Chains A and B, each alone.
Chain A
């Protein structure tokens, strides 16, 4: 591990509107190779936190140290499925930020795009229109786009939501690979079982409820304070967060 975190958030507060308080006093650090599960109810501050980390949301107080621009993997439902782009076109969008407007995408970047699709198991679908792919395949294309960005930190917004079991397993294997090569992943999720497999868990309910290793953080008490009425406790070790926005 290097001597510095790739993300450091200290006493962060802010929201979409001044005084809104979508986030209050959030503190955490992320080190290279760590997988962080971000648990929060709907409206609990996950999106606000991600937008702040992406530099898209001015915050009222606190600081964010993020030496490199993170990559962002949105929920696949937010993409226009009727747009005339192939899987490779979408993956290559990851190279837009480093290519001046007057230059064509380099052949090296095209190779990186194809390699990224190969890595997520979609080399044979590179020419397929994005809208014709299954939900799981579309999610993998968006992950390939983040790989092309070559960012040390990747933010993922509920990447397994609405994804079939085979694609979910594949995606979790990709996460393990990325972590092994030193990339840090912040994964917004409602899946408490998935959160238990991460290195750290950040629980938000507008304010920060807890941050730490899953075996310490994922107690029934913390989950209750995070999800409130949205939490269903099945037994001492199992709880389910109800995602009212799940597709």
Chain B
């Protein structure tokens, strides 16, 4: 009798979880077996089901169209900004990479044309020096463009903040 009462009390504690679909399979079977022989607990389960059903059917409050529209506008603006931010980062990285490649290339070209650093003292030095200067200028110009882009991007960020 006592064991039956214990089981009864245990089941009562599980009924709320049962209507929330939060029982494990063993617990579910335990509850189902008990409900087959206990009208009292079956009634109790019905009460929990009614409460759960009521919660499921609560009216859904809706945001006004103006609120949704404002949310959309703000989110769109931020998304556009984020995408620009990503694009700027890609451009910046590409430019830096490009600048490094050019710099390395310049060095190898310089060596190829002059035959080494000491060759700059040879008669062909003037011609090689011009090539080197042109490449270096290109590298610096690339860096300059990157700096300008970065500056403009930061300016935009400050404005948005």
Answer yes or no: are A and B bound together in one complex.
Answer: no
Binding site for B on A (CB under 8 A): none
B-side residues, CB < 8 A to A, are none
